[in-house]
Chains A and B, each alone.
Chain A
Amino acid sequence: MKQDKGNLISGACLVAFGIYVMSVASRLPYVSEVGPGSGFFPLWLGIGLVLLGAYLMIASFARSRNTGTNESQSWKTTGRALAGWLALMVAIALLGRIGFALSFVILTIFLIVALDRRSALLAAGVAIGLAVAFHLIFVIALDVPLPKTSWGF
């Protein structure tokens, strides 16, 4: 039953999202000169999202009342995953500024040192080795134009 609180929240989010889809779709024409308009399809999608999201909420609410559910244990480790995701997003933000190779090296070192608790030396070795391999395979052999700095990597 640990999923029920998650289901309740996700159902609520999907209902809210469905209302947003419906509100945007209702501002688009439902019918155009040539037939169904650009708002036709999304409006029905929004209605479907609201109905099914509400069903998910009600079903999980009813179930959690019957079983007296506790907070899910599976969310305790989410912090590590979110830290990894934030590091990835920072690396993506750096791609355009410092190039693929450097941002990838920084990301890899962070993942290995902070999340895996390995030594910085090992992390640096893996990061540089992989960055060089990527450069050789994709940039040199396959001519994929990855973002790079003025130093050429």
Chain B
Amino acid sequence: MDAFGNLLLGFSVALTPVNLFWCLVGVVLGTVVGVLPGLGPAATIAMLLPLTLKMDHTTAIIALAGIFYGARYGGSTTSILLNIPGESSSVVTCLDGYQLARQGRAGAALGISAVASFVAGTVGVLGLMLIAPPLARFALRFAPPEYFALMVLGLTMVVFLAGNSMVKALLAMLVGLWIATIGTDLFTAESRFTFGQVKLLGGVDFVAATVGIFAIGEVLVNFESRAGAELFKLSKGLRNLFPTLQDLKDCRFAFLNGSVIGFFVGALPGAGATVASFLSYGLEKAVSRHPEKFGTGVIEGVAAPEGANNADAGGALVPLLTLGIPGGNTTAILLGGLILWGYRPGPLLIQEHPQLFWGLVASMYIGNVLLLILNLPLVPLFAQILRLPYYILYPLIVGISIVGVYSVNNSLFDVWMMGLFGLLGYLMRKLDFPAAALILGMVLGDALERALRQSLMMSQGDITILVTRPISGILLLIVAVILCLPAVRKVRSWRGEAIEREG
């Protein structure tokens, strides 16, 4: 049967009233989970997994996958409105999304985020439908040297996050990489930089660090201004409550960029939505006609990472369903569910259980439409949060931050860490160090070190392994080109100035 025939079979499964109902329950629950920082989709799916044992398995996977990709839709809400990234993949959305909110364009940012999520989510499902098996085979060619090159490519995005000073961005990234080394070394089981704290053996909690740096840091900066200072410009009329046609036009490339990068990076086990969101943001800034405006509230700066974040969900299901390899926490729990229900995810799953695979694919199309219908009308409602007086808004942000961080591990230690990172975030703002560069280092540090050390083990210490393999060689070549970009731009501007002087 061809893909179209298979898809028809899938729709016949997904459009039954029971499956439609559970798809709706899944995406609504996912949106709620995404909006609340700390309460991630992995924990929610893990909690609900035992309840699915008595359900039809196709219905169960449709509901759980709905939570998985629905959470990606909701994740942008607190990033845009309150500068609180609920997950690591939402960090990039804060950069321009929160600035748009401050300019009175929160509705436009939330709306474009929903549209980007819809477009990219649909592209992700198309990819899952059409190129899942060959892509999964390609992903298997990624060994440690290729992962190292991919992580270095991710880190080079610091070039686009640098702002006024590349040196400061690199320093922030190095501090982030150092934070990632805190805890137990996975190769030798030695503890590093734990300061005698047992709770640091597992490393620094990511949510605590990001919420501290972004949300608490921002609140502290705003404490400086005297009472009555205006934090957000409020949008007047309907115009700024939704994205304009010009916004949609400006985001055409961002939708495509986010969709493609998100899907392909998502298909690589272990790479994840965070890498995809940083890469798509970097690419969007690199090709933009006004790169200097990124970080000050550019609508494409929301569309690209949000698209990547959502297309990643479709990509992440590729290795899970076709090879039985989970790419992250949530897909690992979904794999557990499939095994619990008696399936063997792998190359034969599609042939042996077409109704499960194609039913899931079709339900994701339906789920994406449901999410758009659900989310767009909610945009003006969410945007009203910014109408709250600042003496309510600040405690609200602090309260959500404390609850969100505490609820991840039920750990007061994490809340302490959030407070300390809040001070760091404040100082970074004051001294003009880009916080996103630190987060980038922190997110990629662990995977980078692991891939580098595994590569050197493979080659018995020969570092040329990183450049002699075709995929890693090409990726590192791209890295070299990206690193040359600022120098090329500088030379161009010098030449331009020189020509002007002579003219």
Contacts and interface: CB of A to CB of B under 8 A. Distances in A.
Interface of A: 3, 6-7, 10, 14, 17, 21, 24, 28-29, 32, 34-38, 40-42, 45, 48-49, 52-53, 55-56, 59, 74-75, 77-78, 80-81, 83-85, 88-89, 92, 95-96, 100, 104, 107-108, 111-112, 115-118, 122-123, 126-127, 130-131, 134, 138, 142, 144-147
Contacts of A142: 36, 39
A125 B471 CA distance: 61
Nearest to A113: B391
Interface stretch (B50-58, B302-310, B415-423): B415-423
Interface stretch (B196-204, B399-407, B485-493): B399-407
Interface of B: 36, 39, 167-168, 170-171, 174-175, 177-178, 181, 185, 187-188, 190, 192-193, 216, 219-221, 223-225, 227, 390-392, 394-396, 398-399, 402-403, 406-407, 410, 412, 415-416, 419, 422-423, 426, 430-433, 449, 452-454, 456-457, 461
Contacts of B419: 85, 88-89, 92
Contact of B422 (A24, A77, A88, A131): A88
Given A38-B192, A116-B391, A78 B227 contact: no
B216 to A, nearest CB: 7
Please name the 3 residue pairs, one residue from A and one from B, whose CB atoms are nearest each other, closest first: A35-B457, A38-B185, A77-B224
A144 B456 contact: no
B456 A81 contact: no
B221 A81 contact: yes
Describe A's contact surface by its main secondary structure: helix
Contacts of B422: 85, 88
A127 B396 CA distance: 9
A25 to B, nearest CB: 8
Contact of A42 (B178, B223, B423): B178
Contacts of A10: 431, 433
A75 B395 CA distance: 24
Contacts of A112: 391, 395
Contacts of B430: 6, 74-75, 78
B403 A95 contact: no
A81 B190 contact: no
A153 to B, nearest CB: 14
A118 B227 contact: yes
A32 B403 contact: no
Given A85-B423, A116-B391, A130-B396, A95 B453 contact: no
Nearest to A3: B432
Contact of B181 (A42, A81, A127): A42
Given A55-B167, A92-B419, A100 B402 contact: yes
A94 B394 CA distance: 19
A29 B224 contact: no
B399 to A, nearest CB: 6
Contact of B192 (A28, A35, A84, A111): A28
B178 to A, nearest CB: 5
A116 B403 contact: no
Contacts of B188: 29, 32, 34, 37-38
Nearest to A39: B192
Contacts of B399: 104, 108, 130-131, 134
Contacts of A146: 403, 406-407
B178 A45 contact: yes
Given A10-B433, A28-B192, A88-B422, A45 B181 contact: yes
Nearest to B33: A142
Nearest to B220: A81
Contact of B403 (A45, A111, A144): A144
Nearest to A108: B395
6 contacts: A10-B433, A35-B461, A56-B168, A108-B395, A108-B398, A116-B390
A35 B456 contact: yes
Nearest to A118: B391
A49 B178 contact: yes
A93 B223 CA distance: 21
B412 A111 contact: no
Contact of B219 (A42, A84, A123): A84
A84 B36 contact: no
A59 B187 contact: no
Contact of A80 (B174, B223, B403, B461): B223
